[in-house]
Amino acid sequence: MKSSVSTYGFINAKLKAKIGNIRKNELEDSLLKAGSLVEAIGILREHGYIQAADTFDKTGDLQMVELSLLKDVISDYQSVKNLTTDYPKQLVTTLLTKLEVENIKNIIRLWYSSAVHHRPITYRTSYLIKEKIVNNINYVSLINAITYENIIDSLKSTWYAQVLKKFDFEIIARDGLFELETELDKYWYRLYMDSCNSLSGDDKIVASKIALTEINLKNLLMLVRYGWFHKMEASKLANSLFPMGNVYSDKNTLDYIKTTPKSRQPELLVREKFPILADKIKDITNNDNKATMINQTRFIERFLLEEKRKIYQRILGGKPFTIGIPLAYFYYREEQYYMICGILGGKYYGVDSEKIKGILS
């Protein structure tokens, strides 16, 4: 069996250097200082995003640029996957599958827009990934699906089909896509935990801790966003949670869900885990002003996302020869992708740089 040093020595040194460059924020600072979208594209080119810059030069289409940037992220995942073996490779493949899940969701959303709301979607299909990510999917057939059964048939060789078979056109037309997308996410998180549990030693400890922390934060976000802000009824809210982690099994969570939507208190939900957050939001519970609720929901979301960021910061200072460094790299790489897209979008609409920075933070 290979030692952790021989397994991760080269790849983690390489990825730590990349993470360091991302965390310096030099690209973010330069993009924010750009006086226009065209100038920002030029900065991207200087930082190695040549394909994205060329795409803008050829099309002038910002969404095509974002697609090119997403393909770069996928390519990075695939490069790391090719440097790993055995169970670590399985975990990286599972993480890459999450990007495939999001692509499948985007395709189904377009189909829904056409089949249920009878809106034209042809022009939108250019912004979808059609190349293989993990599974062998006939994207041409999937994108051109007319019926819901066509979608399932296009995915019959993958696990997506067994999830989608839980629904039919009538259910989707009546209830929308929320529950379907939630089921796809729940299935993926089970794959994620299975991949973590297949690891051994420090890899298993590090990966499982990251996965469970992400699941706990995801569940807290769902409980606040849908249970408090959107006042989702109890059974639907309970079914939206990922059935893993201590937030899911916490008695406070069960009590919160059972409480009438208008009486739910986010402060009590987070009091034991994040007392600082609880103190900051204790006066917002009974405020039904929509603007205030939006701002407070965003405040809670930012706090929880910052807790997630702290986990990856700690990983970088922990044991150097584990799967933790690749996992941290994927986190920072995706953060960078969203940062670039956010700034380019702001430049496109002429938003002030300080305001863009505030939104990103």
Three-state SS across the chain?
CCCHHHHHHHHHHHHHHHHHHHHCCHHHHHHHHCCCHHHHHHHHHHCCCHHHHHHHHHHCCHHHHHHHHHHHHHHHHHHHHHHCCHHHHHHHHHHHHHHHHHHHHHHHHHHHHHHCCCCCCHHHHHHCCCCCCCCCCCHHHHHCCCCHHHHHHHCCCCHHHHHHCCCCHHHHHHHCCHHHHHHHHHHHHHHHHHHHHCCCHHHHHHHHHHHHHHHHHHHHHHHHHHHHHCCCCHHHHHHHCCCCHHHHHCHHHHHHHHCCHHHCCHHHHHCCCCHHHHHHHCCCCCCCCHHHHHHHHHHHHHHHHHHHHHHHHHHHCCCCCCCHHHHHHHHHHHHHHHHHHHHHHHHHCCCCHHHHHHHHC
Q: How confident is the model at residue 289 (pLDDT cuts 50, 70, 90)?
A: confident
Can you give the pLDDT at residue 359? 84
Residue 120 predicted with pLDDT over 80: yes
Q: Is residue 287 part of a domain?
A: no
* Maximum C-alpha span of the chain: 60
Question: Does residue 263 have a pLDDT over 80?
Answer: yes
What number of CA atoms fall less than 13 Å from residue 263's CA on the CB side?
Answer: 7
Q: Is residue 141 part of a domain?
A: yes
pLDDT beyond 80 at 286: no
Please give, one letter per residue, the 3-state secondary structure of 197-224: HCCCHHHHHHHHHHHHHHHHHHHHHHHH
**Residue 327 in domain:** no
The answer as to whether 291 is a domain residue is no
Query: 10 Å Cβ neighbour count for 253?
Result: 20
Q: How many CA atoms lie within 13 A of 109 on its CB side?
A: 12
Closest CA to 23 of 280, 348, 257, 312: 312
Three-class secondary structure of residue 3 per DSSP? coil
The tokens 């034991």 sit on which residue?
A: 272
- Is residue 28 over pLDDT 90? yes
For range 309-335, the mean pLDDT: 93
| Positive or negative torsion for Cα 293, 297, 302, 307 | positive
* pLDDT score, position 6: 75
How many other β-carbons are positioned within 10 Å of the β-carbon of residue 165?
Answer: 12
The pLDDT tens digits for 180-204 are 999 999 999 999 999 999 999 999 9
Q: What is the mean pLDDT of residues 154-179?
A: 97
Query: Is the confidence at residue 1, as pLDDT, over 60?
Result: no
- Please give the pLDDT value at position 285: 55
Is the residue at 2 inside a domain? Answer: no
Average per-residue pLDDT in the chain? 93
8-12, 73-77, 256-260: least confident range: 8-12
Can you tell me the mean pLDDT for 132-151? 96
pLDDT at 214: 94
Residue 300 has pLDDT above 60, yes or no: yes
pLDDT of residue 79: 95
Question: In terms of Cα–Cα distance, which of 171, 202, 261 is closest to 3?
Answer: 202
Residue 41 lies in a domain: no
Domain count, the chain: 1
Mean pLDDT computed over 218-231: 93
Is the pLDDT assigned to residue 149 strictly greater than 50?
yes
Over residues 319-323, the mean pLDDT reads: 90
Residue 83 belongs to a domain: no
Residue 50 lies in a domain: no
Structural domain containing residue 154: 99-199
